[in-house]
Amino acid sequence: MSTPDDLHLPDFALQGLGTRPFGVYVHVPFCATRCGYCDFNTYTAGELGSGAAPEDWLEGLRKELDLAAQRLGRPPAADTVFVGGGTPSLLGADGLAAVLDAVRQSFGLAADAEVTTESNPESTSPELFAGIRDAGYTRVSLGMQSAAPHVLRVLDRTHTPGRPVAAAAEARAAGFDHVNLDLIYGTPGERTEDLQASLDAVLEAGVDHVSAYALIVEDGTALARRVRKGEIPMPDDDVLAADYELLDAMLEKAGLRWYEVSNWAASEQARCRHNLGYWLGGDWWGAGPGAHSHVGGVRWWNVKHPARYTATLADAALPVGGQESLTAEDRHLERVMLELRLADGLPLDALDDDGAREARRAAADGLLSTRDLDGGRAVLTDRGRLLADAVVRRLVS
């Protein structure tokens, strides 16, 4: 494992910096409680040792962003900023404003920058939304997961009934045109009518973006322990496929179109530009404990623990935990994996001869659109979206 601050950014990685979209991700590693399914790098107050309180983290973050801008030489202004977590809303409006100021002072913000923050609806209020709108945030993403209390219980998640929908309305009233709700589907015990009710609630909220992910049972989580003990079954693949079809049909009917397999938007402007930067191989600096970065084919990641993060930055060193340069093969695999999931698809000339031949076979099997293939792009059909990972494997093997 590398020691902190041995980040090596070769000239080839820095070439073209600023000609591709540039994003800044900020990782906020705090949550009020830990949801049983979640393995994100996040800590409750009781789990954090000394030197890792939010004020220490913010101090560290300012230093990291300054060092980052210096390390990139002439740093590009951020086209997109995504403050994720964890639960950024726990920082309050002043804390979130301070985070955005730190990005402004280090990299600067492009004039039309998209600035998103994630929130747990339970730690939001009209005042928070008004404060962060004033501070310059343009987009809010809220973790809803489900409207069904018994599903939320399996997820170890408590929401005041109706709170996610109310929070979305408060965000819109504060002037946010772009609001996302996150859903999780396929939770054991979730019935079709539960998912339908969650989607009804999402549509009632009038948001312009929805992300819906199948429940993943991550190793090391409380949920995985309960599955291992036989208390809860694994999510069922057939149920997951039927759920996906239901949610896609309901969202499309309401004018939210898929633009990535797990993401739907009401318009081109409602798409999350920051995430599109990840999916289209853009550059981004990920700041905060455990955050990952990518610049021109070099990827690196920060040390995970907030105390080690702040201690390293107190010595004016970048808190790098490791780095790797992507080989041509890695980059090819990654490109196919990410771009094929987009509704715009992947240009066929990104595939080698075997891949292009396999794409024609996948179209004959009904997994890729024949019309788009004739137009030079590999685009998943509705059935292909259900089998996206398998299609990727066919195109790269």
Number of residues engaging ligand SAM in binding (CB under 6 A): 16
**Which partner from the list ligand SF4, ligand SAM, none does 34 bind, CB cut-off 5 to 8 Å by kind?**
ligand SF4
Angle (nearest 5°) at CA 143 between 162 and 147: 35
3-state secondary structure of 102: helix
Is residue 153 part of the contact set for ligand SF4 (CB under 6 A)? no
Smallest distance, ligand SF4 to C-beta of residue 34, A:
5
Is residue 369 part of the contact set for ligand SF4 (CB under 6 A)? no
Residues of this chain, 170-189, that bind ligand SAM according to CB under 6 A: 182, 184
With respect to ligand SAM, which residue has the nearer C-beta, 110 or 240?
240
Q: Map residues 18-57 to x or -, x wherever contact with ligand SAM holds by CB under 6 A.
A: -------------------xx-x-----------------
Cβ burial of 349 (10 Å; 0-12, 13-18, 19+) is: exposed
Euclidean distance between CA atoms 97 and 53, whole angstroms: 18
Residues of this chain, 328-387, that bind ligand SAM according to CB under 6 A: none
**Which partner from the list ligand SAM, ligand SF4, none does 213 bind, CB cut-off 5 to 8 Å by kind?**
ligand SAM
Is residue 291 part of the contact set for ligand SAM (CB under 6 A)? no
Side-chain half-sphere CA neighbours of 95 within 13 A: 20
- Interface pick for ligand SF4 out of 24, 28, 35, 205 (rule CB under 6 A): 35
Phi, psi of 316 (to 5 degrees): 60, 30
Is residue 198 part of the contact set for ligand SAM (CB under 6 A)? no
Phi, psi of 80 (to 5 degrees): -140, 150
Is residue 218 part of the contact set for ligand SAM (CB under 6 A)? yes
Is residue 216 part of the contact set for ligand SAM (CB under 6 A)? yes
Cβ burial of 360 (10 Å; 0-12, 13-18, 19+) is: middle
**Which partner from the list ligand SF4, ligand SAM, none does 198 bind, CB cut-off 5 to 8 Å by kind?**
none
Is residue 120 part of the contact set for ligand SAM (CB under 6 A)? yes
Is residue 120 part of the contact set for ligand SF4 (CB under 6 A)? yes
Smallest distance, ligand SAM to C-beta of residue 12, A:
33
Residues of this chain, 68-97, that bind ligand SAM according to CB under 6 A: 84-85, 87
- Give the Å distances, CA to CA, from 112 to 41, 115, 273: 30, 9, 11
Q: Between β-strands 178-185 and 209-214, what pairing exists: parallel, antiparallel or unpaired? A: parallel
Helices (runs of H) and strands (runs of E) counted in the chain: 16, 14
Is residue 84 part of the contact set for ligand SF4 (CB under 6 A)? no
Containing H/E element for 323?
Answer: strand 320-325
Q: Find the DSSP H helices in the chain.
A: 11-14, 54-71, 92-106, 126-135, 149-154, 163-173, 192-205, 222-228, 237-253, 273-279, 306-314, 328-339, 353-364, 370-374, 382-386, 388-396
Q: Between β-strands 263-265 and 320-325, what pairing exists: parallel, antiparallel or unpaired? A: unpaired
Is residue 215 part of the contact set for ligand SAM (CB under 6 A)? yes
With respect to ligand SF4, which residue has the nearer C-beta, 120 or 369?
120
Residues of this chain, 131-160, that bind ligand SAM according to CB under 6 A: 143, 145
Q: Which of 133, 142, 136 is nearest to 174 (CA)?
A: 133
Which region, judged by CB under 6 A, interacts with ligand SAM, from 208-216, 280-288, 332-340, 366-374? 208-216
- Interface pick for ligand SF4 out of 31, 115, 151, 380 (rule CB under 6 A): 31
Is residue 86 part of the contact set for ligand SF4 (CB under 6 A)? yes
Interface residues toward ligand SAM, by CB under 6 A = 37-38, 40, 84-85, 87, 118, 120, 143, 145, 182, 184, 213, 215-216, 218
Interface residues toward ligand SF4, by CB under 6 A = 31, 34-35, 38, 40, 42, 85-87, 120, 143
